[in-house]
Amino acid sequence: MANSNSSIIGSSKIIQTTLATAKRVARTNLSVLVTGETGTGKELFARFVHAESTRAKGPFVTLNCASIPGELLESELFGHKKGAFTGAVSDQEGLFVQANGGTLFLDEIGDMPFPLQAKILRVLQEREVRPVGGNVLRKVDVRVVAATHRNLEEMVSQGRFREDLLSRLRGYMLELPPLRERGRDVITLARLFLHASKEGSGKCLGHDAQALLLAYRWPGNIRELQHAIQAAAVDAPGSIGAQHLRQHLRCVGNAPVEVGASIGQKILVAIEARGQATLAQLHTDLKVPKPTLHRYLGRLQEDGQVRRFCKNEAVLFAVGGEDTIFPDVLLPDRQSKAMAFIGQKGRITRQQYADVFGVSIRTASRDLSDMLSNGRLRLDGQPGKLAGYLVCV
């Protein structure tokens, strides 16, 4: 595979960090336990671990432990000899043997029957398997990557999962982030699913649809997103709007932003709705204090979800992309003098600003907020009356 992460889409900081971690662990011989909510892409990451490992040229074999009846699972994993049970008309190799020299992916390992867990543990410890109805042990060289959406530690405490097997599987635990924590990735994935479907040919996502995608909590994660986009494409004659998406989401209220949406999510939705927005516009739309908005915008910029740029001497924010530097942003005369004063003194408060320049506290607050928004100043401490402002370097 030339590009092992080609099917893992996303530029958010959290998914790139997860990919980097997966790449590091792939180069070891540790067993890997991939955890995360349903629909987060656990098999994709298992394939990524395999492709980045020294076993990449070997087989990658998968088994969903929840999809096969318990009485057949042992035969599926270890194989069987002819006549071992009714219907065993010939010898059959199990998945451990088929995966020899490569990787065996055991999906939904939490659904494996308790009696079979001891046999899996033995294979992991001894590196050998015995087919059902057979007497001869066969050596295998297999890396196991397991996945589950269940809390295995809780299952251990309930006596439903073996603690020693959990320890063996958890050579390294890789936790996948839910879609709601991946920011702008949801738009990228939605467009990918839209363009890949026959129904989505020639169609696009409207601003209100993008706002809804960013605000929704995605309990079904990527799997739910794919279904919702493909279904909405059937209903939409052209551009897909929020009204086309709503009926295909598991749970969404009448408002485009759910009650549980974070300030960061609300900021993204507000910017998407306008296309681009100033700090003052976000303050008007969201009724959130400007210092709080500035703090969250800074975090969103660090994560690559928001960029800021200058247009007609105004500082604007848009979703995605790189920041534009502000060397040509012209400050009013008083603010220019304030920058020189703060640079000399090192720090200033609102009250000091008002006293030095003979303005009201309200005017001082407005000036300082403007200089925060264009990146000239940064906060020293928590916002409030005693907050200090420093020159950005």
pLDDT digits (tens, 9 = 90+) for 229-253: 999 999 998 889 888 998 898 765 4
What is the per-residue pLDDT across 1-25, written as a single tens digit (0 to 9) for each?
Answer: 334 544 799 988 899 999 999 999 9
- Angle CA 230–192–249, to nearest 5: 40
Residues 6+ apart with CB under 8 A from 149: 35, 36, 37, 38, 42, 108, 110
The highest-confidence range among 22-26, 260-264, 270-274, 375-379, by mean pLDDT, is 22-26
Check whether 175 has a pLDDT greater than 70. Answer: yes
Encode 250-311 in three state secondary structure: CCCCCCCCCCCCCHHHHHHHHHHHHCCECHHHHHHHHCCCHHHHHHHHHHHHHCCCEEEEEE
Q: Is residue 379 within a helix (H) or strand (E), and if so which, with residue range?
A: strand 377-380
Return the closest-CA partner of residue 41 out of 188, 232, 174.
Answer: 174
Confidence of residue 320 (pLDDT cuts 50, 70, 90): low
Residues 6+ apart with CB under 8 A from 243: none
Question: Residue 323: what pLDDT?
Answer: 42
Confidence of residue 116 (pLDDT cuts 50, 70, 90): very high
Question: Residue 392: what pLDDT?
Answer: 61
Lowest mean pLDDT among 177-191, 205-219, 330-344: 330-344
* 345, burial (CB in 10 Å: exposed 0-12, middle 13-18, buried 19+): exposed
Return the closest-CA partner of residue 239 out of 189, 203, 190.
Answer: 203
Lowest mean pLDDT among 73-77, 96-100, 104-108: 73-77
Average pLDDT of the residues of the chain = 84
Which strands, in side-by-side order, build the sheet including 103-107? 60-64, 103-107, 143-148, 32-35, 172-175
Phi, psi dihedrals of residue 370, rounded to the nearest 5°: -60, -45
Q: What is the DSSP letter of 332?
A: P
Question: Residue 296: what pLDDT?
Answer: 86
pTM here is: 0.68
Q: Which two tokens stand for residue 328?
A: 């040509």
Residues 294, 295, 296, 302, CA torsion sign:
positive
